[in-house]
Amino acid sequence: MDIHIAKVHDVLAGEQTHGTTILVDRLWPRGVSKDDLQPDLWLKEVAPSTELRRWFGHDPARFDEFARRYRAELGGARVDKLIDAATPGPITLLYAAKDRQHNHAVVLRDWLIETCLPK
């Protein structure tokens, strides 16, 4: 499983993506036209719940607890479509958060690698 992550605004500025592009935000990125960003998939359901996202508030001090809670939300049919997309080849998870290290796409990528790769 070859999983990359990329910030939406970097992709719009020309950053290369790999394989299938999947927007993993619950909300469409602010200030981005749907004509400008055309991911292969938009999987809102794999994003953190609205309650968890609001609680986290992109506060790096809450990131470890956010990651723990978000991992608890993942699983089942919610991520089946994402796993199916990732299985045949590379994917790029697109996110709009400003912080490149403390965001749900980082947690989701790590969870996919830990959960879906053969041990």
Residue 7: pLDDT above 60? Answer: yes
pLDDT digits 0-9 by tens, 18-49: 999 999 999 999 999 999 999 999 999 999 99
Q: Which of 2-11, 26-35, 55-64, 70-79 has the lowest mean pLDDT?
A: 70-79
Q: Whole-structure pTM over 0.85, yes or no? A: yes
Give 118's pLDDT tier (boundaries 50, 70, 90): low
DSSP per position, 67-78: HHHHHHH--THH
Whole-angstrom Cα distance, residue 42 to residue 27? 10
Alpha carbon separation from 35 to 1, 5, 32, 38, 39 (Å, rounded): 29, 21, 8, 6, 10
pLDDT score, position 77: 64
Residue 81: pLDDT above 90? Answer: no
